[in-house]
Amino acid sequence: MFSIYGISGQVFSGTLEEMNRVRAASRARSVRAISEDGEELGIEAGVSIAAATRETALKGYRSMLPRDLERGPLFHASQIMQTTVIRVSAGDTVTRAWRTLRDHAIHQAPVLDDDGRLS
């Protein structure tokens, strides 16, 4: 995950794969190429230089990635979730709801109405 910042702030945040969808030219002002003697080469040359710079940056980033990038193990929800759902009732007092969360060391719980439906 990486970010790209421009003059106005962050213009992209994401993975390398998502970067291909970014249209950097639409967010940046035009680039003009200037020869070594200071003569302007025209906007077409500037755009091709910007595209080449972007491709160079992508190649550099790809070269730094490990070949065997480990994304971590995959789990089914049933492997990491408990079957008993901790919940609070819509009629519970704030104190009772807070104690339920505290006693189970959780920060959130579904709130059910008198018919057992989510409130």
Tens digits of residue pLDDT in 13-72: 887 777 766 654 445 555 556 666 766 665 555 556 667 777 788 788 778 777 776 677
DSSP category for residue 77? H
Torsional sign, CA 65, 70, 72, 74: positive
Q: Does 59 share its domain with 19?
A: yes
Structure tokens at 69: 């990038």
Q: How many whole angstroms separate alpha carbon 44 and alpha carbon 92?
A: 68
Q: Does 92 share its domain with 49?
A: no
Q: How many whole angstroms separate alpha carbon 114 and alpha carbon 119?
A: 9
Count the domains in the chain: 2
Is the Cβ–Cβ distance between 79 and 104 less than 8 Å?
A: no
Residue numbers of the domain that contains 84: 77-112
Look-up of token digits 């998502």 = 18
Q: Does 13 share its domain with 50?
A: yes
Torsional sign, CA 102, 103, 107, 110: negative
Residue 119 placed within a domain = no
Give the residues across from 119 on adjacent strands: none
Residue 69 placed within a domain = no
Q: Does 46 share its domain with 90?
A: no
pTM score: 0.35
Predicted confidence at residue 24, as pLDDT, reads: 46
Predicted confidence at residue 65, as pLDDT, reads: 73
